[in-house]
Amino acid sequence: MQFKRFSLRTRIFLAMTLLVIMASAFIALVTVYQYREQSNDYHTKRLERKEQAVIKEIDYLFKDLGHPLSRERIDTVLKKRVSQIADIHSLTIRFYDLEGKLMAQTAQKSLHFRHNKLAKKTLDEVAQSKTHRILHFIKNDTTNVQALFRYVFDVDKHPVAILHIPYFNNNTDSENELEEFLTRLLGIYIFLFIIAISVAYFISNYITRSLKTISDKIRLTDINKRNKKIALKNPSKEIYALVSAYNAMIDELEESAVKLAQSEREAAWREMAKQVAHEIKNPLTPMRLTVQSFQQRFNPTQGDYKQKLDEFCSSLIEQIDTMTAVATAFSSFAKMPVGKSESLNAVAVVKSALEIFTEEYIYFKTSRKHISLHFDKTQLIRIINNLVKNAIQATLNSDKPHIEVSVSQTHKYVIIKVADNGKGIITENKAKVFEPKFTTKSSGMGLGLPIVKKIIETYKGVINFETKEGEGTTFTVTIPK
């Protein structure tokens, strides 16, 4: 469940509890970090002190021996005194010559540093360092080691050897102290957590008590009955403002209830009148076009004039039937016509519906001559008329208008597509296409596509569209056979 779906009391309680947990976790993390930083600083400084002590002792040793010192003399002296120096300072010490070869060493405590020659990379780092001193950190699962490498200078400040001190960090005492501190801190956190839960519970109840009273009243508010105002003792400033707004709303609600009751019936009849006008206007336009086309093209001297007359009459009768169905349905308090499912040839019905349109750029396409469909013939014609009229309207400003109506089928569905190369539908209007009263035309009431959608959904079909601004729109109707 999402956090925003919780009640305000629960959210206040959870927020305060979470705040304590986060603060406790943050303090614990900072404590661990601080302890470990202090431990690292301690070992680093301790190694520096031991390093300075060893270097000072070697300086005194070289001063006592005088100069110049030969390589053999330095080698002999360091081998003789390395164990003594290591014992005094409790260190593991190794000396290498400037080429990285081992000169002297003490007993080894770790396998990490049993090397008789330094790597060239280490020699280069020592030589290139401004202080001629480098510090490597080696970490594994069992130990942390700081490996110090630095030059040893004679009395004339010439480098004569490389000192290597491996320093083993022993954090046992520090870790034990940290563990003991965290154990005590955990006890304090648990105590504070219990207190925080109790305080959060009482505060959240106190804050939301008045809000619950208001929400209960609002939930029971009904325009069809007389509503009681809210009365609270000593509300806070914010709650008082909310209560005052609610009580003012109750007064206004009572005043508008009478007006609303009077206007509801008028609005219902106005809406029904608009829908009746729209639905009757739909077949009137193609009927007018059919009559005009027949008037211009009919020639009684031609041999097929009877066939053309029959087709003309059939088209008019179909449109009249549509108007009759609409009128009959709206006479029952503006209900949509209830279609009667009948077996028909979808190809023939769609083709027949297109015959009333005289535009030469309307094309019909199908791969089959007969596609069976159980549907209401009148309403199928109505769907085609509406979609084609919309397509014509969309292509009014096109240089080469093109409208293609196609009928196809799958195993379970009949698919009707009406595609045009018109102006397309802009992005902000896509979600409103099937909304009642929405239209981009200068005339019309915006009920055509919503009614088409309702008819199709009555037969468990779907209608959708694909569009691209400036390129056109394709409406696709999918109806179960």
Contacts of 387 (CB under 8 A, 6+ apart): 418, 452, 475, 477
Which CATH number, 3.30.980.10, 3.30.200.20, 3.40.47.10, 3.30.450.20, labels domain 3-176?
A: 3.30.450.20
100: left (phi over 0), alpha (psi -120 to 50) or beta: left
Q: What CATH fold (topology level) applies to the domain 339-480?
A: Heat Shock Protein 90 (3.30.565)
E strands present in 249-304: none
* pTM of model > 0.85: no
Alpha-carbon gap, residue 151 to 158, rounded angstroms? 9
Map out the domains of the chain as residue ranges.
3-176, 339-480
Longest dimension (CA), the chain: 143
What confidence score (pLDDT) does residue 336 get? 54
Q: Cis peptide before 436, with omega less than 30 degrees from 0? A: no
Walk along the chain (481 residues) and give the pLDDT tens digit of each residue: 454 566 666 777 777 778 878 887 888 888 788 877 887 787 788 888 888 888 888 888 888 776 666 777 777 778 878 888 888 887 888 888 888 888 888 865 544 555 678 888 888 888 898 888 888 887 765 567 888 898 988 877 888 888 888 877 766 666 777 778 778 878 887 887 788 788 877 777 776 676 667 666 676 666 556 666 666 666 666 667 777 777 777 777 777 766 766 666 566 556 666 766 766 777 777 777 777 777 777 677 666 767 777 777 887 787 777 777 666 655 543 445 556 788 999 999 999 999 888 888 999 999 889 999 999 998 899 899 989 998 998 898 888 999 999 999 998 999 999 999 988 888 888 887 877 654 555 444 456 788 888 889 888 899 999 999 888 999 999 999 8
Neighbours of 154 (CB within 10 A): 18
Name the pairing type of β-strands 362-366 and 413-420: unpaired
